[in-house]
């Protein structure tokens, strides 16, 4: 009996070691997959603050919390099962779906650019789409727009993660996808919350009895609104760059390599011609061309949406 008990304990110890090794493997793969998705994570962090720029400070954290919750739902309830199922049953469908998301990012980025260049026309376009002046409805509309944009960026993150663990078993894939989704959401929206509330922290510091803290607080109060505007511009640029890159890489995966090769050739020529900081120049030129492509695609999409809006409005009125 003692022998049987010892054997059982040995088996339990072996299972524990196997489980620990599996957890270590999941942790290692999570870190590796998160690093691969770092570029999209930075874009996500840059895009989000623009949804609270110009709103009441009292509503900033509640809005960010709602967007963060929507982001978690996107990743865990929709994208994680979808990635597992598509990766197993229809991997060929992942690229076209990502490209549709890329078109949406191009549309969002081009719309913000349109708003900056022609604010009155863009405002009329936005009013036609929103069809409401109620502040609560407008806030909810912004939250839904942010969650839609997050869905596309999250899909890119999850797709990159899935590609990194494609050879693992389905349980490891699910564990890594869930871990990456949760950690990235907490990191992104934690940073965003700190950024948008930094001016409130600065205001509190201006009341400090320590002169250095008061000066730092005044710097935050003055600097954070400017920083938020700069970050909003970076977010728009990020959407255009990511949207364009998704379309270019998607076309290459579907067999149309000419756009990717042309961009690579132009970027290589530019980096060699300048002769210094070649990697940075290569990335900047590549991103700029992808953003220009995104502006073109987004512009066409804006025209299409604007033309289709009255049609959908008529159909809704006929079918209340």
Per residue in 17-61, pLDDT (tens digit) is: 433 344 444 455 555 444 444 445 555 566 666 666 556 667 778
Count Cα neighbours of 196 within 13 Å in the Cβ-side half-sphere.
Answer: 27
Q: Which helix (H) or strand (E) holds 151?
A: helix 135-164
Sign (positive or negative) of CA dihedral 291, 162, 93, 186: negative
Structure tokens at 225: 């609104």
Terminal C-alpha separation, the chain: 76
Count Cα neighbours of 170 within 13 Å in the Cβ-side half-sphere.
Answer: 9
Closest by CA to 247, choosing from 39, 95, 41, is: 95
d(CA 304, CA 295): 14
d(CA 96, CA 98): 5
**pLDDT at residue number 128:** 57
C-beta neighbour count of 59 within 10 angstroms: 13
d(CA 211, CA 206): 9
Maximum separation of any 2 CA atoms in the chain, in Å? 86
Contact by Cβ (8 Å): 235, 249: no
Buried b (16+ CB within 10 A) or exposed e, 145-184: bbbebbbbbbbbbbbbbbebbeebeeebbbbbbbbbbeeb
Q: Which helix (H) or strand (E) holds 89?
A: helix 80-89
C-beta neighbour count of 208 within 10 angstroms: 13
Read off the pTM: 0.71
Domain regions of the chain by residue span: 2-318
Contact by Cβ (8 Å): 300, 318: no
What is the pLDDT tens value at each position of the chain, 320 positions in all?
444 444 443 444 443 343 334 444 445 555 544 444 444 555 556 666 666 655 666 777 888 888 889 989 999 999 999 988 888 888 888 888 888 888 988 998 898 888 888 776 655 655 555 555 566 777 787 788 888 878 887 887 887 777 777 777 888 888 888 888 888 888 888 888 888 788 788 888 888 888 898 899 999 888 887 887 787 787 788 888 888 988 999 999 899 999 999 999 999 999 888 877 888 899 899 999 999 999 999 999 999 988 887 766 676 666 65
């Amino acid at each position: 009996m003692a022998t049987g008990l010892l054997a059982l304990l040995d088996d339990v110890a072996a299972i524990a070691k196997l489980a620990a090794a599996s957890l270590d493997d999941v942790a290692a793969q999570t870190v590796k997959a998160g690093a691969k998705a770092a570029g999209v994570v930075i874009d996500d962090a840059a895009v989000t603050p623009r949804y609270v720029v110009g709103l009441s400070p009292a509503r900033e954290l509640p809005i960010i919390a709602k967007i963060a919750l929507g982001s978690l739902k996107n990743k865990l309830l929709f994208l994680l099962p979808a990635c597992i199922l598509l990766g197993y049953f229809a991997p060929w469908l992942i690229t076209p779906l990502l490209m549709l998301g890329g078109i949406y990012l191009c549309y969002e980025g081009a719309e913000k650019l349109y708003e900056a260049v022609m604010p009155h026309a863009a405002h009329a376009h936005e009013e036609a789409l929103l069809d409401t002046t109620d502040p609560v409805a407008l806030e909810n509309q912004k939250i839904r727009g942010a969650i839609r944009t997050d869905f596309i960026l999250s899909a890119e993150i999850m797709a990159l993660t899935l590609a990194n663990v494609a050879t693992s078993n389905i349980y490891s894939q699910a564990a890594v996808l869930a871990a990456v989704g949760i950690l990235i959401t907490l990191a992104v929206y934690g940073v965003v919350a700190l950024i948008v509330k930094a001016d409130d922290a600065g205001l509190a510091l201006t009341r400090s009895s320590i002169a250095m803290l008061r000066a730092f607080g005044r710097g935050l109060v003055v600097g954070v609104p400017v920083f938020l505007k700069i970050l909003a511009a970076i977010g728009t640029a990020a959407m255009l760059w990511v949207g364009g890159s998704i379309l270019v890489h998607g076309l290459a995966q579907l067999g149309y390599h000419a756009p990717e090769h042309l961009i690579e050739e132009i970027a290589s020529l530019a980096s060699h011609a300048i002769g210094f900081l070649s990697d940075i120049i290569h990335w900047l030129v590549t991103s700029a061309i992808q953003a220009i492509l995104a502006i073109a695609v987004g512009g066409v999409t804006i025209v299409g949406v604007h033309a289709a809006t009255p049609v959908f409005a008529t159909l809704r009125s006929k079918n209340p």
